[in-house]
A and B are shown apart, each in its own frame.
Chain A
Amino acid sequence: MTNITADQKKKMYQRKRVTDDVMRMIFKSSAILASSMIFIIILFILQKGLMPFLPNYKYGQVDIIQFLFGTTWRQDSAIYGLGFIVINTLVSAFGALLISLPFSILTALFIAKIAPKKLAIFMKTIVELLASIPSVVYGVFAAGYIVTMVKNLGSMLNISTAGGSSLMAVIILLAIMIFPTMTSITITAIGAVPSDLEDASLALGATVTQTNFKVVLQSAKSGIFAGVILGLGRAFGEATAVSMIAGNKLYGPTTNLFDITRTLTSTMLAGLKETIGLDYDIRYSVGIVLMATILISNLLVNYVKKHVGSR
């Protein structure tokens, strides 16, 4: 054993303390940087997106009322009316939710409670695979398959469609895309329902199915609503797949299911050529509206969650 003097011991200890403090600083600053990203995103997009509405904007001020409530969007003649696009986006997202939610809840119930174990594992894998398919691949599928389906349906009903690109195609596509998100969250929520509740229901003479539908689903409500919020977020924010089949209508809102439509995201992806000027900056304004739409819808869903279905 080598003899270490008290002085050396103290120095070693101090060195360790210093590296410890430095590492701690690095860890802490990483966490602060990571958590500040969301504020940086919001701040910069707000700053850039609000610019066109200010009086001293260099490409000519845009009327904010006209922008928010207008019903025509023509970049070529500098008419920017986003109102109908917001309505179209809401219609397509909530339409998709309307179709997809019952499917997700029932499928989740099947996986979590009804299916035999092997089948449940198989079904869970199916849902996971659906969730992992990238949106462009969904887009290729939609542009090739869903669009043809809608076109054929239209010709059967004597309705002419723009090659099948339509509001209906967008709704079907989004319904498929948000299904895995909502299903997997509902599965987790159902799994978290305490078994005493089920036992109590069974002991009172309810059948297993009655218990599943009336007790389990009721208790998993808040999880289901969390899934709805995530699903809606995906439906609103989905860009590439939707832009392949939306058709980008110039005015609106679209009321006919077979008519082409235009969503906030497909608007943001249209005309990518510009890198400067009003057409470029206005995309940030559309981005703000998109984020606001998502936020307001979340608040709405939360409101519904608090006031509906609770006894």
Chain B
Amino acid sequence: MMKKRLFKDKVLNGLTFFTSGISVLVLFAIFFFIFQKGYSTLSLDMLSNNYWSVNYNLAIPESSQSVYTYPSIESGESFSSKYGIAFKDDFSPDKKALIVVSYVDPASPFKLLTDLSAGPNQGQVIPIQLGMNIEKIVYTNTLGVDRSAGVIFKQNASELVNILDTQATKLLSTYTQTEGGGIKGSLIATLYLILISLAIAMPLGIFSAIYLTEYAAKNKTSAFIRSSIELLTGVPSIIYGLMGMVVLYPITTLFKVSGPSVLLGGLTLSIILLPTIIRTTEEALKVVPEHFRSASLSLGANYSQTIFKVVLPSAVPGILTGILLSVGRVIGESAALIYTMGTFVNDSPSVTRGGTSLAVQIWSIMSGEQPNFALASAISIIILGIVLFINISIKLLARRFAKTW
């Protein structure tokens, strides 16, 4: 009997151990998967690059020098000593072969390329930049015939350099593409979102929390107000997106904004953040000891002075926790923003136009015909990093300011 009981207990305890182990495994599987897929794409270039690549058709001027040198050539690079430019083989995220510019001599003719395509920019000098892809180069060969070479003829970097140095007598034009695949626009838009949503939600939320803790009588009305605010937490974010389009859109039109915009996204987010900010602020205000208030009041300060000069400063760590939680929510939010900001990745977002946050950019590139896992995972790494940082900060804040009055 006793033995059977002990065995049963062991099995039950083992079960709890097992489920806990599974949850650890799941977390590590997620981290491992995201890192494995995104690590190679993650780079500083990615942070500062545009998402969309731009195509150029550029004329190549005569070379001023006949021999260039590149002292620090690396393996995998091919250097054209006749034109002072080095290329490297690479692959795009969708596994297409590329020839990428890896070095340009300051005196190279590639520094003085001019735009060939018709339009206002025709004739403008567009120097080649590192990281640009060379699609093709048109040249005149030793027989005086114009020919083309490049990645669209299935040639690699060393073959291209070989043609440039031995077969070409004169270079005519090149068709190139900027790198693309970056997240600069989304980073900026996310920053805007954080600023706009906090600018609105913070005063509104903190004031509401002050009313609820400092002024409101313990009656049915304040209980009703509190539970109405609490109800906001249960609303799915996609419903907030719908709400933004009908309730807040008219407000943005006052600022002469039409269609989805970063402003509309920020306004929508500010509503989403309200319950979090109110709850954390309320909790912070509640633990401020009553005798702080009594002391301030007895010294002749009035109620609002007491709140702004005594109670709120004591509650700063709690309010900070609310802000950190809010920033995390803004960075992770996607469904509400898909409606209110659109899904078009905008490389130069402004408050009054559409754009994507980091999270929405992930959705946008994952829901296309060809999901770009590498970039999506790389952005996910960034988001996870920020979320991790916020979590640690909240923990430290809580420990640092766990005062006992």
- A residues apposed to B, CB below 8 Å: 16-17, 19-20, 23-24, 26-28, 30-41, 44-45, 48, 102-103, 106-107, 109-111, 114-115, 123, 126-130, 132-141, 143-145, 176, 179, 183, 207-210, 212-213, 230, 233, 236-240, 243-244, 265, 268-269, 272, 275, 283-284, 287, 290-291, 294
What DSSP secondary structure best describes chain A's contact surface?
A: helix
Chain A nearest CB from B404 CB (Å) reads 20
List, in ascending order, chain B residues with CB within 8 A of A141's CB: 29-30, 33-34
Q: Could you list some 17 contacts between A and B, CB below 8 A?
A: A17-B302, A24-B304, A27-B207, A27-B214, A33-B208, A40-B243, A40-B247, A41-B247, A44-B246, A106-B20, A123-B23, A126-B23, A132-B390, A136-B380, A237-B239, A238-B236, A244-B363
List, in ascending order, chain A residues with CB within 8 A of B367's CB: 243-244
Is B229 in the interface zone, CB < 8 Å from A? Answer: yes
Chain A nearest CB from B10 CB (Å) reads 8
List, in ascending order, chain A residues with CB within 8 A of B18's CB: 106
List, in ascending order, chain A residues with CB within 8 A of B239's CB: 41, 45, 237, 287, 290-291
CA distance A36 to B229 in the complex (A): 8
- Once the chains bind, are A103 and B303 in contact (CB under 8 Å)? no
- Once the chains bind, are B387 and A134 in contact (CB under 8 Å)? yes
Minimal Cβ-Cβ distance residue in A for B32 = A145
- Once the chains bind, are B238 and A268 in contact (CB under 8 Å)? yes
Minimal Cβ-Cβ distance residue in A for B29 = A145
Given contacts A103-B22, A140-B373, A243-B367, contact A132 B304 (CB under 8 A): no
CA distance A126 to B211 in the complex (A): 36
Minimal Cβ-Cβ distance residue in B for A233 = B234
B328-362 residues at the A interface, CB under 8 angstroms: 328, 331-335, 338-339, 343, 359-360, 362
Which of A26, A48, A102, A107 has most chain B Cβ within 10 Å? A107
- Once the chains bind, are B215 and A35 in contact (CB under 8 Å)? no
- Once the chains bind, are B9 and A210 in contact (CB under 8 Å)? yes
List, in ascending order, chain B residues with CB within 8 A of A145's CB: 29-30, 33
CA distance A187 to B231 in the complex (A): 22
Minimal Cβ-Cβ distance residue in A for B30 = A141
- Once the chains bind, are B366 and A233 in contact (CB under 8 Å)? no
Is B149 in the interface zone, CB < 8 Å from A? Answer: no
CA distance A111 to B216 in the complex (A): 38
- B residues apposed to A, CB below 8 Å: 5-6, 8-9, 12-13, 15-20, 22-24, 26-27, 29-30, 33-34, 37, 203-205, 207-208, 210-212, 214-216, 224-226, 228-229, 231-232, 234-240, 242-243, 246-247, 259, 271, 274, 278, 302-305, 307, 328, 331-335, 338-339, 343, 359-360, 362-363, 366-367, 371, 373, 376-377, 380, 383-384, 387-388, 390-391
Q: Which of B205, B243, B363 contacts A45 (CB 8 A)?
A: B243
Q: Which of A33, A102, A140 contacts B377 (CB 8 A)?
A: A140
- Once the chains bind, are A107 and B19 in contact (CB under 8 Å)? yes
CA distance A124 to B278 in the complex (A): 25
Q: Which of B20, B212, B305 contacts A110 (CB 8 A)?
A: B20
Given contacts A24-B304, A134-B334, A291-B239, contact A33 B204 (CB under 8 A): yes
CA distance A33 to B170 in the complex (A): 72
List, in ascending order, chain A residues with CB within 8 A of B215's CB: 24, 27-28
Q: Which of B232, B259, B278, B332 contacts A135 (CB 8 A)?
A: B332
Minimal Cβ-Cβ distance residue in A for B206 = A30
Besides the contacts A48-B246, A107-B23, A130-B27, what 14 more A-B pairs have beta carbons closer than 8 Å?
A: A20-B303, A24-B303, A27-B208, A30-B211, A38-B232, A106-B15, A132-B387, A136-B362, A207-B5, A207-B9, A237-B235, A239-B237, A239-B238, A287-B242
- Once the chains bind, are A34 and B304 in contact (CB under 8 Å)? no
Q: Which of A17, A32, A103, A133 contacts B23 (CB 8 A)?
A: A103
- Once the chains bind, are B20 and A265 in contact (CB under 8 Å)? no
List, in ascending order, chain A residues with CB within 8 A of B304's CB: 19-20, 23-24
CA distance A130 to B203 in the complex (A): 30
Q: Which of B16, B237, B373 contacts A109 (CB 8 A)?
A: B16
- Once the chains bind, are A130 and B26 in contact (CB under 8 Å)? yes
List, in ascending order, chain B residues with CB within 8 A of A136's CB: 332, 334, 359-360, 362-363, 366, 380, 383
- Once the chains bind, are A30 and B334 in contact (CB under 8 Å)? no
CA distance A35 to B224 in the complex (A): 8
Chain A nearest CB from B311 CB (Å) reads 12
- Once the chains bind, are B366 and A139 in contact (CB under 8 Å)? yes
Minimal Cβ-Cβ distance residue in A for B2 = A207
CA distance A26 to B333 in the complex (A): 30
Given contacts A133-B384, A275-B259, contact A110 B242 (CB under 8 A): no
CA distance A17 to B359 in the complex (A): 48
Which of B214, B328, B334, B376 has most chain A Cβ within 10 Å? B334
Chain A nearest CB from B148 CB (Å) reads 38
List, in ascending order, chain A residues with CB within 8 A of B362's CB: 136-137, 139-140
List, in ascending order, chain B residues with CB within 8 A of A24's CB: 215, 303-304
Chain B nearest CB from A253 CB (Å) reads 21
- Once the chains bind, are A41 and B235 in contact (CB under 8 Å)? yes
CA distance A213 to B243 in the complex (A): 44
Chain A nearest CB from B164 CB (Å) reads 41
Chain A nearest CB from B353 CB (Å) reads 15
List, in ascending order, chain B residues with CB within 8 A of A137's CB: 30, 34, 332, 362, 380, 383-384
List, in ascending order, chain A residues with CB within 8 A of B228's CB: 35-39
- Once the chains bind, are B13 and A209 in contact (CB under 8 Å)? yes
- Once the chains bind, are B271 and A129 in contact (CB under 8 Å)? no
Minimal Cβ-Cβ distance residue in B for A213 = B12
Minimal Cβ-Cβ distance residue in B for A229 = B234
